[in-house]
């Protein structure tokens, strides 16, 4: 491994930190552990990371033996975790559960990001509670800038797509509320029913989809973790 101004210690903790503790690296690994394999999809999971820095981190992880890159016949590149990379799964999950347990919710809810929230919701949405047809669910965050106010989840034949532009389908459900409320629901800090009853969330459309929202929406993988701070 090349010298990047490391700790200069033989301790395995220090050596591991030299690989994992550079900025954005753990989040890139998080995305790979979630099954993301393409560069542009990785960018959607780390939207504030520049393409140049993402490319640099991927090369560093490949040199460290954490991932391997495969060039496809169509010219695209896929990134997959190696055995060493897969062994990081409990470590990265541990980071998340520790944060859910010990970091105050008011601090977490300062870091609001609609693109990350919707991307996370898209990959964890459960199609089973929805009617057996194409369902288009629009989320509207009125307090945001116009370019970030509207998002659409399109569920069709078990597949879930996220659109930042109107896909042109009939809207089955419109969910309107603040980004803070929706993020709190996703993180398990509150519930759909509670936000509706408090007037912080409005749901209009197909009553079957509306009533099952908590079921098809699901929660962040870290939401079940017990909290020690409020």
Residue 99 lies in a domain: no
* Domain ranges, residue 67: 12-87
Residue 98 lies in a domain: no
Residues 115 and 175 in one domain: yes
Residues 154 and 210 in one domain: yes
pLDDT tens for 15-30 read 999 999 999 999 999 9
Picking from 12, 13, 89, 79, the residue whose alpha carbon sits closest to that of residue 43 is 79
Q: Report the distance separating Cα 68 and Cα 86, nearest Å.
A: 12
Query: Dihedral (C-alpha) 214, 134, 47, 188: value to the nearest 10 degrees?
Result: 0
CATH number, domain with residue 51: 1.10.10.10
pLDDT tens for 98-131 read 998 998 878 778 889 999 999 999 999 999 999 9
Query: Dihedral (C-alpha) 99, 140, 162, 195: value to the nearest 10 degrees?
Result: 40
Residue 92 lies in a domain: no
Task: Out of 58, 87, 116, pick the residue that ends a domain.
Answer: 87
Residues 151 and 204 in one domain: yes
Instruction: Look at the chain and count its residues.
Output: 230
CATH number, domain with residue 180: 3.30.1050.10
Give the pLDDT of residue 117: 95
Residue 117 lies in a domain: yes
Task: Out of 59, 87, 115, pick the residue that ends a domain.
Answer: 87
Residues 197 and 152 in one domain: yes
Give the pLDDT of residue 1: 43
Picking from 108, 128, 49, 89, the residue whose alpha carbon sits closest to that of residue 229 is 108
- Strands 173-177, 159-163: pairing kind: unpaired
Residues 121 and 197 in one domain: yes
Residuewise pLDDT in 10s, the chain (230 residues): 445 568 889 899 999 999 999 999 999 999 999 999 999 999 999 999 999 999 999 999 999 999 999 999 998 999 999 999 999 999 999 999 999 899 887 877 888 999 999 999 999 999 999 999 999 999 999 999 999 999 999 999 999 999 999 999 999 999 999 999 999 999 999 999 999 999 999 999 999 999 999 999 989 999 887 777 76
Q: Report the distance separating Cα 101 and Cα 143, nearest Å.
A: 29
Residues 213 and 110 in one domain: yes
Task: Out of 87, 122, 142, pick the residue that ends a domain.
Answer: 87
Residue 41 lies in a domain: yes
Neighbouring C-alpha atoms within 13 Å toward the C-beta of 101 = 8
Residues 125 and 76 in one domain: no
Residues 207 and 113 in one domain: yes
Residue 1 lies in a domain: no
Spatial neighbors of 136 by CB under 8 A, at least 6 apart, are 152, 153, 154, 155, 167, 169, 170, 171, 172, 173
Residues 142 and 66 in one domain: no
Pair 41, 59: CB distance under 8 Å: no
Residues 141 and 210 in one domain: yes
Q: Report the distance separating Cα 119 and Cα 160, nearest Å.
A: 10
Residue 183 lies in a domain: yes
Tell me how many domains the chain contains: 2
Residues 67 and 119 in one domain: no
Residues 119 and 186 in one domain: yes
Residue 224 lies in a domain: no
């Amino acid at each position: 491994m090349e010298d990047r101004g490391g700790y200069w210690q033989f301790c395995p903790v220090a050596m591991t930190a030299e690989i994992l503790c550079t900025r954005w690296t753990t989040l890139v690994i998080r995305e790979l552990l979630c099954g993301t394999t393409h560069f542009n999809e990785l960018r959607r999971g780390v939207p504030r990371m520049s393409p140049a820095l993402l490319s640099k981190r991927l090369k560093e992880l490949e040199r460290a033996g954490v991932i391997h890159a495969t060039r496809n016949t169509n010219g695209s590149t896929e990134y997959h975790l190696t055995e060493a990379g897969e062994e990081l799964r409990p470590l990265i999950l541990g980071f998340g559960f520790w944060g859910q347990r010990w970091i105050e919710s008011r601090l977490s809810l300062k870091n609001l990001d609609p693109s990350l929230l919707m991307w996370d919701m898209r990959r964890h949405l459960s199609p089973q509670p929805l009617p057996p047809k194409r369902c288009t669910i629009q989320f509207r965050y009125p307090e945001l800038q116009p370019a970030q106010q509207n998002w659409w989840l399109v569920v069709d034949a078990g597949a879930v797509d996220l659109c930042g532009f109107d896909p042109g389908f009939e809207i089955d459900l419109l969910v309107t509320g603040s980004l803070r409320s929706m993020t709190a629901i996703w993180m398990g800090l509150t519930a759909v029913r509670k936000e509706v009853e408090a007037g912080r969330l409005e749901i209009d459309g197909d009553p079957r989809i509306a009533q099952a929202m908590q079921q098809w929406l699901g929660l962040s993988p870290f939401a079940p973790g017990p909290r020690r701070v409020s």
